[in-house]
Copies of this chain bind each other. A is one copy, B any other.
Amino acid sequence: MTSTGARPTTPTLDEVAVLAGVSRATVSRVINDSPRVSPSARDAVQAAVAQLRYVPNRMARSLVTRRTDTIALVLSETNTQIFSDPFFARIVRGVTAALADTDLTVVLLAARDGREQEKAGRYVRQGHVDGVILMSMHHDDVLPAVLADASVPLVLFGRPLDGGTFSYVDADNTGGAAMAARHLVEQGRRRIGTVTGPQDMNAGIDRFAGFRTALADAGLPLPAERCAKGDFTEAGGARATARLLEQAPDLDAVFVASDPMAVGALRVLAESGRRVPDDVAVVGFDDAPVAAESDPPLTTVAQPLTEMTQELTDLLRRQIEGSREVETRICDTHLVRRASA
């Protein structure tokens, strides 16, 4: 079983050339689908490639072309829990799907603490990738600046808080939250509260702002005791809702800034003996898979994730092609009506 022999050396372009009886340059042309090759030469090369099971050496190729055909999807998030958030999974799926037809490969980089962020930054700066999609939600994250500084094409998922000059794609969080608020008002609710997201995340801030503004526009008050801060997790949503019910037991509706939190809210509401939507209406945000399966199914604000990931990759690819334009895309949300409101 034991052996420390050298691993088999992979064939090079030269060896293929010799076997095919042509020059290295011609083999290269065949590999790269150049039209300027005779059919006979092409056949000979392809046969030789197949026989030797030749695979081009990426490093050598990248060294001269200065392209890697790889992009990084960097998840900069200290909360390890969020990494298993279905929302992230959907983004990853969307991005890889959007690039399925291209020859770009997506690699994921998880940067959960300072050291990992540093590693990710170095990885990018060393030229491993042609571009970066960065998901960084927190205010104090330095990675956006570090990567921008690496002068590598960069697109953010989510509006950056500090308003730096980054290209980014985001959902219309403000508008979506306002839509949720108006929906509740139209249902005749008057004592409407909210479970917010973290207020150091743009999504948390914007959803709260949109909600508050819409409520004010409708002439409804939003006293502090009808607001509780959550952390986008189910457990956090449950805790926040419990607090809310204690502070404002007469609540007749609640806007919960994410679906996982809303699921927690539904549980706590049920445990408190309240019926949803009869006693308390609930609107969530995200249209996560779980929203359709909750009891009752959740009315929620949907983000057009497919469109967003498509925009993300479009923007990035345009930058890779050479554009230095700073572009932003705010994608419209829409209300998905189910049973909870």
- Is B100 a contact of A116 with CB atoms below 8 Å? yes
Q: Does A247 contact B (CB under 8 A)?
A: no
Residues of B with C-beta under 8 A to A248? none
Alpha-carbon separation in the docked complex, A88 to B110 (Å) = 13
In this complex, what residue of B is CB-closest to A85? Answer: B84
In this complex, what residue of B is CB-closest to A87? Answer: B84
- Is A110 a contact of B108 with CB atoms below 8 Å? yes
Shortest CB-to-CB span from A328 to chain B, Å, is 11
Q: Mark A157-199, 1 if CB is under 8 A from B, else 0.
A: 0000000000000000000000000000000000000000000
Shortest CB-to-CB span from A124 to chain B, Å, is 10
Alpha-carbon separation in the docked complex, A4 to B323 (Å) = 5
Given contacts A126-B56, A151-B8, contact A116 B96 (CB under 8 A): yes
Set B3, B10, B60: member contacting A325, Cβ < 8 A: B3
Which residues of A57-105 are within 8 A (CB) of B?
Answer: 57-60, 62-63, 68, 70, 72, 80-81, 83-86, 88-89, 92-93, 96, 100, 105
Q: Which of A7, A10, A107, A110 has the most CB of B within 10 A?
A: A107
Alpha-carbon separation in the docked complex, A215 to B233 (Å) = 39
Residues of B with C-beta under 8 A to A96? 110, 112, 116
Q: Mark A124-149, 1 if CB is under 8 A from B, else 0.
A: 01111000000000000000000000
| 19 more CB-based (< 8 A) A-B contacts, given A80-B89, A80-B93, A107-B108 | A2-B324, A4-B324, A6-B322, A7-B324, A55-B125, A56-B126, A57-B63, A57-B126, A58-B59, A58-B126, A59-B127, A70-B128, A72-B107, A81-B89, A92-B110, A100-B115, A105-B120, A107-B109, A107-B123
Instruction: Report which A residues bind B (CB closer than 8 A).
Output: 1-8, 10, 55-60, 62-63, 68, 70, 72, 80-81, 83-86, 88-89, 92-93, 96, 100, 105-110, 112, 115-116, 119-120, 122-123, 125-128, 151, 235, 293, 322-326
> Can you list 20 pairs linking A and B with CB atoms under 8 Å apart?
A1-B325, A2-B323, A4-B323, A4-B324, A8-B151, A55-B127, A59-B62, A60-B63, A70-B123, A80-B89, A83-B89, A83-B93, A84-B84, A84-B85, A84-B88, A84-B89, A93-B110, A107-B108, A107-B109, A107-B123
